[in-house]
Structure 1
Amino acid sequence: MSDLTDDGVHLLPAAETARRLGASPGTWDRFRRHWEELRVDRTRTGVHSRTLHRCGHFQVSLTGAFELLAHRPRGAAQPEALTDSFATDPVLAGLLRLLLEFAAELDDATLWDVHVHPLRELAAIETAAAPARRPDVTLAAQLLVTRDNAEGGARTLTTSDGTPVRTVTPDEPGTLLLTDDRRILHAQSAIRPVTASRPALRDLLEVTYSPA
């Protein structure tokens, strides 16, 4: 975990994530199927790509107890709430507690605001994300759930002054990327189809921890 506190970045391999979560292939497959229930997110949709998205807001205490807060949509473009089955899935519960361990290494908060965003990216041609930073976020996590017919999608991580820290391209489901977002800028290269006749598909779970 020292690379997260020292450099602001930590990559947890898929096998280690599964071990830490106690997730068997069967429980992981059940968790993966939640992505089939996502809806189109109009705020992230372009001419050649679509993002399917939901969101949930939790409060997590230092003891590991957590509470799902009421969903308050802000306008038509706001993603819908997590389904009940997603919000209560044991894999999600285990992930929230695992991420709490990392967040506690970065800040001594006793209560955390946690936002959970499952999303599915569908790209017919190259789509990329510009550098971004969320200074109000302490810990940001991105879990790769599914990658199908997709290449690219390298995530370049730099300090706020542009110094390179690391470039990663998670390709194995279960890989978990952690960053200290107070210090790290993110940029993502294009994802594109390997076979042009069907779109690239990538399922991700993005989670952020901020002191409440």
Structure 2
Amino acid sequence: MGGPRYALGNVREDLLRGGDDWDKFSRFWEGLPLDPYMGDGGTYRRRKHSLISYDVGDGTVRSAGRNGFHQSKEINRLNGGIVRHFEPVDQALLDTSVFRRMLAHFVARIEEATPDGGPVPPVRRINVHQHRIVASEDELGNPTPEGIHRDGVEHVVMMLVARQAVTGGVSTLYDNAESPVLTHTLSEPGDYIFLDDRTGLHSVSRVRVAPAAPEGYRDMFFLEFC
């Protein structure tokens, strides 16, 4: 069956060429609301979510409705099986040059990987997620409380926005038999894993606050191409 198809990179090195674009983008992780759906009772995750459509031809981005975010219990054993409603991602974030460049870049890469003769949708539906995982002296942060899993989509981009006063948060990719294939830490802002979700699974280790720090966080941005 083979292992997961993935690529590693850094968005700032791949797409950005100086300027203050990244600062305009990364500031949207301040003030994220608490995720109220944590099946483990944790208060360590803040998040926003939007479902958008992206016109491959002209680059138009539109909201695809507010019907909530749903994963089956088979996909997410902890928090799946219900429709979860989150505050939407700010339109101003969706208007940033970082976001628009990311969309165009990864859509093009998906199309390049599509076998000859395979269908290429003219409009993509994409889940956009912002996460902040907080760690403190009283509570560990758990980026993947559902354990080893897949997201149930076509492709996923998992990108680090910031790490502040934390240790851990190590990503592992697995084949479909749950054998580990890659262990990798997203350490620099813009580092990403680009994964064909159908070909493998993934998890992330717990996040601990760094010694002598009262609190730390790990900010992540996800694009899920449906």
Candidates 109, 118, 122, aligned match of 2:120: 109
The 3 A distance-change label for structure 1 pair 18 and 161 is same
Contact 2:133 2:141 in 1 (8 A): no
AA aligned opposite 1:109:
V
Instruction: State the shift of 1:58 in Å.
Output: 1.7
Give the TM-score of the pair, scaled to structure 1.
Answer: 0.84
Instruction: State the shift of 1:45 in Å.
Output: 7.9
Distance 2:8 2:170 in 1: 13
Percent of aligned pairs with the same amino acid: 23
Per-residue CA deviation, residues 147-189 of structure 1 (Å, 9 max, x unaligned), is 0001111111111112322111111111011111001111111
Distance 2:41 2:214 in 1: 16
Give the TM-score of the pair, scaled to structure 2.
Answer: 0.79
Per-residue CA deviation, residues 78-111 of structure 1 (Å, 9 max, x unaligned), is 1111112112111111111111122213434223
Give 2:5's aligned residue.
8
Candidates 45, 55, 58, aligned match of 1:51: 45
The correspondence of residues 117-196 of structure 1 with structure 2, limited to 5 A, is: 117-124=129-136, 125-128=139-142, 129=144, 130-135=147-152, 137-195=153-211
AA aligned opposite 1:30:
K
The structure where strand makes up a greater share of residues is: 1
AA aligned opposite 1:133:
R
Give 2:77's aligned residue.
none
Once the two structures are overlaid, the 10-residue window that deviates more, 112-121 or 62-71, is: 62-71
Instruction: State the shift of 1:55 in Å.
Output: 1.3
Structure 2 residue 60 is the aligned partner of structure 1 residue 60: no
Structure 2 residue 95 is the aligned partner of structure 1 residue 88: yes
Contact 1:48 1:123 in 2 (8 A): no
Contact 2:3 2:176 in 1 (8 A): no
